Amino acid sequence: MIPEQTSPAPAGAPNPLAPDWLAVPDDVNALAASVWPSGAARRDDGVVEIAGVAVTDLAASFGTPLYVVDEQMARDNAARISGALNDAMTAIGSSATSYYAGKAFLSADVVRWMLEAGLNVDVCSGGELALALAAGAPPARIGFHGNNKSQTEIERAVTNGVGTIILDSLQEIDRVAAAAERHGVRQGVRLRINSGVHAQTHDFLATAHEDQKFGLTLAAAEDAVAAIRAHESLDFRGLHCHIGSQIFDAGGFSESAHRLLAVHARLLEHGPVPSLNLGGGFGIAYTPADEPTPIETIARQIAETVAARCAELDIPVPALAFEPGRSIIGGAGVTLYTVGTTKDVVVDVGVDHDLSVGPGAEGRTDGAAAAGTSGDLDAVADLDATVEAGGTALRRYVSIDGGMSDNARPSLYGADYTVRIVDRASDAAPQLVRLAGKHCESGDIVVNADYLPADVRPGDLVAVPATGAYCFSLASNYNFLTRAAVVAVRDGRARVLVRGETEDQLLARDAGLDGR
C-alpha cells in the first residue's frame, strides 16, 4: 500500500527525521563556540580560519581528509584542567598530579606540549610507551596501563624506569615483581580497582562481581595489596579507578572516591598509601546541546567529597591523581573533508517514527535538551502533527572523501557530531543532512544529523569539529584508504604533527608484491 504523501519539509523548516535535540539553526554559517576550537572564526569572505590559518590553505597544502589541531587551545586546556584539579586539592590540604591520557591522541609534539604544561603522560601499550620515551618524556613521569601487558612490555617499562605501572590482575603482580627483581629495581605500582560506579549511565550500584575486563573488585583489593606488599621489588603507590568516559558532572567521581577511600583507610592500617588515582573521563561538547560541567566545578566538588570522607574516616587526605585526555585534546581538533556527491532520499514517516538518533548518542543524558533545544514550540507542535499524520520527509546525504576510517566513533558508539561548510558562507535555507563516508558500509556515517545550507554541493569544503580525541587514534585502512595527516595550527602557521600515509606505503606491506 502506498503511504499517504505529503510534501517533504521545505528547506528551513523542522524536519521530522531530525533528532529531538537538534534545533534548526538561525544562522547555518555560525560556528558554535562550545564545539569549535577557540581559534576558529569565519572571515568576511566566508572562509573559516583556525588559529589564523585559512582552511582552504590547509586543504590545498595537505589535502583532505585532514586532522587539524589548534595547538594553543590544547596547551591552554592542559594548563587549565591540571591547574583546576591541583588548586581544588590544594584547598583541602592535598595536591593533584595530572597524567595526559595518551590514548585520546598521541604524537611526539603532543607529549612535549603536555610535559611543558606540567602534566605527566599515561600510556597503555608498548607502542605508546615507545613514542612517549622517544619524544623525551622522563620515564619517571609515565604511567603504564593495560589489562594484558606482555612480558616484553613489562620488561621495557621496568628497564626504562617508568614511574608507575598500573597492575590490572593478580598475575601481573608476580610478573612485574619478578621483572623488577631481575633488574635490581623497586618498581612503583598502583592497583586498578572497580568501584562499582558506572558514570556514563549514572548507575552507582555496587556489585560483588564486576563484569568487565579491567581491574579487580573492591572486595579483592586488600588481599591483592597484601600480595603487592609481600614483594620487596614493588613499591605500592595506591589505588586506581576509572569509571567511564564523556562524563558531564562530578557525581560519579565523588561516589567512587567515597567507596575507594573506605578501602584506602583499611590499607593504611598495614602500611603507607601515598595517593589515590581517580582516573579520567571528563566530557566535552560534541554538539550545542551538550553542556558539560566546568572542570573547576567538578574539581571543587570532588575535593569536597574527599575532604569530608577523610574526616569521617579520620585519615589524612591523600595526594590525588587524574588522567584527563579527551577534555584536553578533543575540542581542539577539527577534521576537514571535501564533498564528493549529494543525494536526496525521501523517507516514509509513520506514527511510530523515532525522532532520536539511531543507536543512542554516547554520553547524552540531558533529557532537558529535547525540550530546550528543539526550536520554536509551535513549530515542534506542527511537526508532531505531521509525524502523526504519516507522509514523507527528505533527508539529504552528503558524501565526503573520508569516513569511518578516520572517525569510527559514530559507528562504534552512536556518537553525535556537527558539520559546517567552511570554504564559503551561504544565505540558503537550512537543510537536514547526513554526512556519509565513502566506505562500502551502510553504517559509514560521520554526522548522523545536522543542518547545512540547502545549496551544499560537490567540491564544498566541510569541517567536523571536536574530533581531536579518539579519531586519529582509532583510524584504520579499511577499504585500503590511507590514514590522514595531522596538522597543528598556531599563530597563523601550520606544521605537520603526523605525516599522512600514501598508497605506496600500504602496498609496501604486502609481501605478495615483493620484487614486482
Catalogue the active-site residues.
Answer: 440
Q: Categorise residue 301: left if φ over 0, alpha if ψ from -120 to 50, beta otherwise.
A: alpha
Separation of alpha carbons 153 and 131, rounded Å: 13
Separation of alpha carbons 67 and 406, rounded Å: 9
Single-letter code of the amino acid located at 389 = A
Of residues 400, 396, 408, the one with CA closest to residue 443: 408
Please answer whether residues 472 and 105 qualify as being in contact, where contact means their C-beta atoms are separated by less than 8 angstroms: yes
- DSSP state at residue 229: H
| All residues at 6 or more sequence positions from 256 whose CB lies less than 8 Å from its CB, including other chains | 195, 197, 199, 241, 243, 278
Separation of alpha carbons 499 and 495, rounded Å: 10
Separation of alpha carbons 285 and 307, rounded Å: 30
Single-letter code of the amino acid located at 10 = P
Separation of alpha carbons 392 and 9, rounded Å: 8
DSSP assignment of 393-414, as one string? EEEEEEEES--TTT--HHHHH-
Instruction: Tell me the three cell numbers of residue 139.
Output: 620515564
DSSP assignment of 75-127, as one string? HHHHHHHHHHHHHHHHTTT--EEEEEETTS---HHHHHHHHHTT-EEEE-SHH
DSSP assignment of 162-213, as one string? -SEEEE-SHHHHHHHHHHHHHTT--EEEEEEEE-S-BGGGTB----SS--SS
